[in-house]
């Protein structure tokens, strides 16, 4: 018997214009969490899609228990004991939680003893049991479309766990989870480890990696760099191997100086009694205001309210001393307020359009000659600047954005909003899924914007990012603002204390 449950050896996979995998390898031992790391576009998701039978590899081998196998498609992968939670979620919104979990393998019963029909009762009972097992409290009959991104992610995890697999692939499973959901996921992972499941864990959150993983494999540009035991590694060592050079700073030196109050929110309240209420805060020119809180704290809802995505609100918004009426996003955009939303798939990315179109689409009016002819050269320069600045990995600016890696898609969206040159910028989980090197570049851009006098509101569930980037942090719990912390004084502990101040 092999010491490995599953091995991928010498795997190569090209796409037009890129060698996504170039002699990659990964060897998984049972009962261990194996972190797969690398910058955006390094080939992590592609390698996993080869294992899961989504892509055919051009070269290489998969072995299970030391025996060579072929995995022809995802169904085949599941039969061979491999399950996967994808980086880009693809739930069916109009279906219930139970239907999404049991899609394609519904429990059946025989009507009148011979007509096969779906056994809904059993499906929902099984779903309830499963959700309980993974410690998630949803109604199995709720439509998935009504769930938040983080709840959808939880449903996907429950679905993968239900497959009773020997190898579980989690491709950025916590990208939209907050602290206590992550804790819940880690408990599930511990349970699975005890059942000897091998887990592949992909994440750009360094603190998570060192907390949860036993082994670490690092990739760069589709190539295998090496495998280490996690206890031999430090964050610095991992970053150096990933990036191929040393990275001395994780956050830029802050030189922005907050000035006068430009934006003021008074008593802002949703008509939905379970959402945000009595929110008041000020935002200064050149200030970076972090917004912390747990999932369900209504941070996104609040910002969507301010931005006019949710119009049923009461309270007042003042901008440069003048009261604003924001009934829809266009009103906000016209005033120079921009918002980068948390759900990039639902409301951000235009998959079939090119990288260039996705960057320039909301700022095209700035690139018109005589008011109507698009100045192609100017747009191209904007696009090239962004591609360079954020190191967006794409064969060309004409490439369809959906073929970019997850993190690179996010960078394109960041580029789009920055191109719009707004005065007030609302960023919701901006650096989700972005690798450390590129994160630093994006932080530098934010700091630069603040220095130029732009005001920034930054929702983040990553504590270190909130602390590293904010002049002030507003913390919310259960729809209310529970306090403000000066950036210099912020710690994980004092943020957490406010974030859990339930009434
Ligand atoms: N379907 C596809 N068509 C064309 N190119 C692709 C496709 N899928 C991935 N690629 C390219 O392959 C490379 C590896 O992408 P992959 O998604 O595996 O990266 P990743 O390591 O998962 O990155 P991230 O951390 O951003 O998720 C990238 O250059 C990407 O643009
Ligand atoms: Mg990926």
Report strand pairing: 455-459 vs 424-428.
Answer: parallel
Residue 189 near residue 8 (C-beta atoms within 8 A): no
Cβ 409 under 6 angstroms from ligand 1: no
Reading the block at residue 478, the tokens are: 């259960």
Cβ 407 under 6 angstroms from ligand 1: yes
| CA nearest ligand 1 atom 28, residue | 41
pLDDT at residue 56 in the model: 94
DSSP of 69-136: E---SHHHHHHTTEEEE-SS----TTSBHHHHHTTTS--EEEETTTEEEE-HHHHHHHHHHHHHHTT-
- Give residue 154 CA to ligand 2 midpoint distance, Å: 18
pLDDT at residue 259 in the model: 96
What is the pLDDT tens value at each position of the chain, 503 positions in all?
789 999 999 999 999 888 999 999 999 999 999 999 999 899 999 999 999 999 999 999 999 999 999 999 988 998 999 999 887 667 778 888 888 888 777 888 888 888 888 888 998 998 888 888 777 778 889 888 888 766 777 788 788 887 788 999 999 877 767 666 788 788 888 988 999 999 999 998 888 888 999 999 999 999 999 999 999 999 889 988 988 877 778 899 989 999 999 999 999 999 988 899 999 999 999 999 999 998 778 999 999 999 988 878 899 999 988 999 898 888 888 888 988 876 554 556 677 788 888 777 766 666 666 666 667 777 778 788 888 877 888 888 888 888 888 888 888 888 877 777 789 999 988 888 888 888 888 898 899 989 999 999 999 988 889 999 999 999 999 999 999 999 999 999 999 999 989 88
pLDDT at residue 27 in the model: 98
Reading the block at residue 320, the tokens are: 């440069």
Q: Which ligand is nearest to the CA of 433?
A: 1
User: Where does CATH 3.40.50.300 sit in the chain?
Assistant: 6-243, 249-336+422-503
Is the domain 6-243 a CATH 3.40.50.300 member? yes
Cβ 41 under 6 angstroms from ligand 1: yes
Q: Chain-centre distance of CA 461, in angstroms?
A: 11
C-alpha 284/C-alpha 354 separation (Å) is 36
Put the strands of the sheet holding 59-64 in their side by side order: 18-28, 6-15, 59-64, 67-69
**DSSP secondary structure letter of residue 7:** E
C-alpha 172/C-alpha 86 separation (Å) is 8
Ligand 1: atom nearest CA of 42 is 21
pLDDT at residue 430 in the model: 85
- Give residue 293 CA to ligand 2 midpoint distance, Å: 26
Residue 455 near residue 283 (C-beta atoms within 8 A): yes
Report strand pairing: 472-477 vs 288-293.
Answer: parallel
Ligand 1: atom nearest CA of 204 is 25
pLDDT at residue 409 in the model: 85
- Give residue 46 CA to ligand 1 midpoint distance, Å: 6
Q: In degrees, to the nearest 5, what angle opens at C-alpha 425 toward C-alphas 472 and 146?
A: 95
| CA nearest ligand 1 atom 7, residue | 403
Q: Which residues contact 126 (CB under 8 A, 6 or more apart)?
A: 98, 102, 107, 162
Mutate to test the pocket of ligand 1, among 8, 12, 14, 15 (most ligand atoms within 8 A of CB): 15
- Give residue 86 CA to ligand 2 midpoint distance, Å: 9
Cβ 87 under 6 angstroms from ligand 1: yes
Q: Is 307 exposed, middle or buried (0-12, 13-18, 19+ CB in 10 A)?
A: buried
- Give residue 75 CA to ligand 1 midpoint distance, Å: 22
| CA nearest ligand 1 atom 17, residue | 405
Cβ 220 under 6 angstroms from ligand 1: no
pLDDT at residue 478 in the model: 92
Put the strands of the sheet holding 337-340 in their side by side order: 337-340, 424-428, 455-459, 288-293, 472-477, 480-486
Cβ 46 under 6 angstroms from ligand 1: yes
Cβ 410 under 6 angstroms from ligand 1: no
C-alpha 421/C-alpha 411 separation (Å) is 16
Residue 242 near residue 224 (C-beta atoms within 8 A): no
Cβ 406 under 6 angstroms from ligand 1: yes
Q: Whole-prediction pTM value?
A: 0.77
Of 307, 310, 409, 314, nearest to 353 by C-alpha is 409
Is the domain 249-336+422-503 a CATH 3.40.640.10 member? no
């Amino acid at each position: 018997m092999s010491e490995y449950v599953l091995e991928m050896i010498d795997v190569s996979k090209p796409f037009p214009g890129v060698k996504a995998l170039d002699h990659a390898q990964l060897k998984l031992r049972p009962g261990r969490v194996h972190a797969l790391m690398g910058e955006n576009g390094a080939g992590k998701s592609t390698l996993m899609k080869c294992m899961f039978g989504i892509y055919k590899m051009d070269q290489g081998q998969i072995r299970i228990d030391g025996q060579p196998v072929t995995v022809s498609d995802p169904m085949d992968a599941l039969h061979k004991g491999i399950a996967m939670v994808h980086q880009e979620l693809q739930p069916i919104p109009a279906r219930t939680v139970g239907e999404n979990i049991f899609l394609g393998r519904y429990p059946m019963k025989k009507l009148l003893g011979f007509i096969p029909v779906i056994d809904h009762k059993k499906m929902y009972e099984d779903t309830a049991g499963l959700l309980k097992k993974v410690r998630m409290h949803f109604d199995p009959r709720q439509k998935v479309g009504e769930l938040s991104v983080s709840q959808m992610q939880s449903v996907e995890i429950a679905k993968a766990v239900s497959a009773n697999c020997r190898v579980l692939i989690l491709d950025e499973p916590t990208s939209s989870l907050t602290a206590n959901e992550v804790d819940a996921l880690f408990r599930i992972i511990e349970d699975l480890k005890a059942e000897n499941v091998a887990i592949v864990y992909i994440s750009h959150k360094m603190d998570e990696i060192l907390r949860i993983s036993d082994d670490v494999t690092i990739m760069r540009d589709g190539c295998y760099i090496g495998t280490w035991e996690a206890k031999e590694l430090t964050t610095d060592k991992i970053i150096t191997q990933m990036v191929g050079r040393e990275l001395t700073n994780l956050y830029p030196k802050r030189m922005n100086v907050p000035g006068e109050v430009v934006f003021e929110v008074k008593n802002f309240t949703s008509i939905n009694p379970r959402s945000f209420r009595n929110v008041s805060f000020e935002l200064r020119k050149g200030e970076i205001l972090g917004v912390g809180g747990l999932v369900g704290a209504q941070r996104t809802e609040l910002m969507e309210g301010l931005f006019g995505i949710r119009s049923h609100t009461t309270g007042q918004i003042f901008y440069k001393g003048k009261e604003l009426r924001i009934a829809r996003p266009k009103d906000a955009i016209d005033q120079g307020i921009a918002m980068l939303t948390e759900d990039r798939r639902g409301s951000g990315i235009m998959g079939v359009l090119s990288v260039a179109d996705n960057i320039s689409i909301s700022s095209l009016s700035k690139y018109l000659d005589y008011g109507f002819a698009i100045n192609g050269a100017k747009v191209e320069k904007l696009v090239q600047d962004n591609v360079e600045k954020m190191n967006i990995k794409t064969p060309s600016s004409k490439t369809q954005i959906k073929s970019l890696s997850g993190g690179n898609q996010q960078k394109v969206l960041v580029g789009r909003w920055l191109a719009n040159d707004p005065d007030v910028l609302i960023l919701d989980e901006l650096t989700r899924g972005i690798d450390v090197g590129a994160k630093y570049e994006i932080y530098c851009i934010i700091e630069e914007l603040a220095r130029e006098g732009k005001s920034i509101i930054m929702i983040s569930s990553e504590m270190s990012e909130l602390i590293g980037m904010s002049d002030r942090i507003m913390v919310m719990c259960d729809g209310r603002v529970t306090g403000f912390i000066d950036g210099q004084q912020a710690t994980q502990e004092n943020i957490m204390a406010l974030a859990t101040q339930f009434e």
